[in-house]
Chains A and B, each alone.
Chain A
Amino acid sequence: MTEVLLILLLVMGFLALQVRNLLSAVIFLAVLSLLSSLLFYHLHAPDVAITEAVVGAGVSTVVFIWLLHRTERRDDT
């Protein structure tokens, strides 16, 4: 279970770096946060899991999407 979650985390991080549409990147990051929250829960750290789910998947996604709304949607570098 731990190994599967860790590999999925790597995949999500790679996708978030590679994808050109920044909104998709933000969503990949949110999924990464959710998966790592699952990982923390699996490793018997429910307090950290709650924090990761709320801050990583919730509030920071909102802040990132607000930022995208103010700037560019695509990464053209």
Chain B
Amino acid sequence: MKQVRLMALIRETAVVLVLLLVGGVVMLGIWAGGAPPEELREYFIDRGLVETGAVNLVSSIYLGYRAFDTFGETIVLLLAVSGVIFIIDRKELTRTKLARPTIGNIDQYGRHRTEILDLISRKLSPYVMLFGLYLISHGHLSPGGGFQGGVVLASGIILLTLGKGVDKIEAMFPIRRVALAEAGTFLLLLGIGVVGILYGGTLFENFLPGGGPGDPSEATRIPIVSHVFFLNLIIGLKVGAGISLISLSLFKEE
């Protein structure tokens, strides 16, 4: 017994030492690195709004200038979803209804169900989803964007699932269709990138016929920000579908 405790103590000390070492190296890197280069910062502040039209400088950078990185992030999410689907048994995912019905306030898993969770989740989740849509559609104007909005959208669906049970929510959002939305929006994103190559030579080049945001020459022109807006919309749908898919299949597996 004493030896076990000694081993645990040694292990904990080793972990703390390694953590301190790693932290020290990181802090040294930060202190030795000096100030970040100012050229890019000045460039983004000066030209960001004019070149991408997005008032929110963060989304003008990550969708206007560095959409390729965002594309990589969506691939990461796609891999996570694929992993969950791969691990969880496929028969479980396509299974239709549970045989045991809900009796009184005991649900089909034999758990005691309270009305508080049911009521609050039902009243709250529409507003959560609305906030997600706001974050997605105003990502170019205010803080937020496709990724954040998509996750908020999915958390609205998770909230509904916690209240009503997975079977009812799965009837509204069938897993097969959510997976289709995930894959379809990914292909759409890929297509937009490729069209950008064909149009301007680089991935995710803005191919919409846009003038600047304050360009008065042609009133019928699509504003230049619509590229960022559509990318936000597609990424929001993709992330929302992906996170909902992961959580729905996790809940369904139990």
Contacts and interface: CB of A to CB of B under 8 A. Distances in A.
Interface of A: 46-47, 49-51, 54-55, 58-59, 62-63, 66, 69-70
A59 B145 CA distance: 17
Given A54-B155, A63-B246, 4 more contacts: A47-B59, A47-B143, A55-B151, A59-B247
B178 interface: no
Interface of B is mostly: helix
A59 B254 contact: no
Interface size class of B (residues with CB under 8 A): 20 to 34
B158 A62 contact: yes
Given A59-B243, A63-B250, A54 B152 contact: yes
Contacts of A55: 151
Interface in B171-209: none
Nearest to B243: A59
A59 B135 CA distance: 17
Contacts of A50: 135, 143-144, 148
A66 B251 contact: yes
B237 interface: no
A58 B56 CA distance: 24
A47 B144 contact: yes
